[in-house]
Amino acid sequence: MGICSTVSKALRRGKFFFLLILLLSLLAWIATFSGETVKSILAPFGTTETFVKGDKLREKLNVLLTEPDQVIAPTQSAECPQVSPLLKGAVGLSFEPSLKLKDLEIANKGVTEGEYEPSDCTARQSVAILIPHRNRERHLLYLLHHLHPFLQRQQLHYAIYVIQQAGDETFNRAKLLNIGYLEALKDYIWDCFIFHDVDLVPENDNNLYICDKQPKHLVVGRNSTGYRLRYKGYFGGVTAMTRDQFLQVNGFSNNYWGWGGEDDDLRVRVELQKMKILRPSADVARYTMVFHKRDSGNEINNKRMGLLSQTSHVWKKDGLNSCSYKTLSVERLPLYVNVTVDIGKPHI
């Protein structure tokens, strides 16, 4: 009897333990299963994904932090060659009456808001081309047509700014160029500025639109003058000055209203600073001038000789530091930045 009861007790306890183990296994299984279910339900909402991504990100960060030589630095391309391999020398110019701005935009896909830089090398200079303008749309079109590919073949980082004089007051080329300089510097610290008439188209790629140690005059000859320099001190049409050279002479005078004299005034300023004017060789510095009649609103300035005689006395007060104007709009068109300004009128 004693043995029997001990055996039956043990059996009851065994059953109890068996049931207990069974129950625990069941609970463990439910816990595992429910975990997977939660994960698979959350997956489409991103929670699980985020977790996995976070893990990967952490892994990546660890690699970056612990293995510095695996960090990929942004690649900077080498400086463009001293002489661009793209230069063609003398190029044939065309002036097609059917030419449209849209055609130029299609042909210059690499230009954004008037700005371009070579894709395979770092340009040696960043150059702002400043074109004073009013009512010369066709000339502007011809110039843009030739200038964009010309500058691209020179492998420059450049932007073209057209500075439009609003209203009918007498034209003031020099003041517009001062404004172009000031406005362009709001976009980028350009190294070099090209002051460019709208009706002069360069004929030779070797006439480089870059600045030098001294101011440069780029128009030695043009078709309309038999490709000869107009006179020894001629400094008009197209000139190149560095940011600092132009600042040093206090820019152009703001007081030349109408045609003539402002370029001679700039030459006097340059000479007062003991700078020398450089010119490329005559076979390279050649331009075609697009024919036009004298514009109304740009009559010959009869006061220009009188003003010129005062340059050495007034240049410090009349120039970039006294250039007042109102910017009416800055439109970033595909092929140029169009700056329209109210420049006031001549003081009587």
Query: What residues are annotated to the active site?
Result: 197, 199, 259, 262-263, 289, 292, 294
Helix intervals (H) in the chain: 2-42, 47-66, 101-107, 137-153, 173-187, 243-248, 262-272, 304-314
221 vs 236, which CB is nearer to ligand BGC? 236
**Which stretch, 65-73, 198-206, 246-254, 259-267, contacts ligand BGC (CB under 6 A)?**
259-267
197 in contact with ligand BGC (CB under 6 A) = no
Using rule CB under 6 A, residue 260 touches ligand BGC: yes
We find the least distance from the C-beta atom of residue 260 to ligand BGC, in angstroms, to be 4
Q: Give the C-alpha separation, 330 to 327, whole Å.
A: 8
**Alpha carbons 270 and 281: distance in angstroms, whole number:** 21
258 binds ligand BGC per the rule CB under 6 A: no
Alpha-carbon 295 to chain mean position: 31
Residue 278: DSSP 8-state: B
**Distance between terminal CA atoms of the chain?**
139
Question: What angle (nearest 5°) sits at the alpha carbon of residue 20, between those of residues 15 and 22?
Answer: 95
How far is CA 239 from each of CA 47, 122, 123, 177, 266, rounded to the nearest angstrom?
64, 24, 20, 11, 10
Tell whether the torsion through CA atoms of 140, 145, 150 and 155 is positive or negative: positive
Q: Which of residues 278-307 bind ligand BGC (CB under 6 A)?
A: 304
Contacting residue, 263, 315, 325, 341, with ligand BGC by CB under 6 A: 263
State which residue, 203 or 263, has the beta carbon closest to ligand BGC.
263
Q: What's at 203, amino acid-wise? A: E
**Binding of ligand BGC by 264 (CB under 6 A):** yes
From candidates 114, 202, 215, 236, binder to ligand BGC by CB under 6 A: 236
Figure out which of the listed residues 114, 221, 261, 319 binds ligand BGC, where binding follows CB under 6 A.
261
CB of 155 or CB of 239, closer to ligand BGC: 239
In angstroms, give the least distance from the CB of 263 to ligand BGC. 5
Q: Give least dist CB 300 to ligand BGC, A.
A: 9
User: Smaller CB distance to ligand BGC: residue 229 or 278?
Assistant: 229
| Closest by CA position to 160, among listed 137, 134, 194 | 194
Q: What is d(CA 176, CA 343) in angstroms, rounded to the nearest whole number?
A: 8
Radius of gyration of the chain (CA): 37
Q: Is 221 in the site for ligand BGC (CB under 6 A)?
A: no
Q: How far is the CB of 298 from ligand BGC (least distance, A)?
A: 11
| Shortest distance, position 225 Cβ to ligand BGC, whole Å | 9
Least CB distance to ligand BGC at residue 197 (A) = 9
Strand order in the sheet with 200-202: 200-202, 286-289, 221-222
**Closest to ligand BGC by CB, 81 or 233:** 233
Residue 214 is given by DSSP the state S
Contact range with ligand BGC by CB under 6 A, out of 82-90, 122-130, 138-146, 255-263: 255-263
Binding site residues, ligand BGC, CB under 6 A: 230, 236, 260-261, 263-264, 304
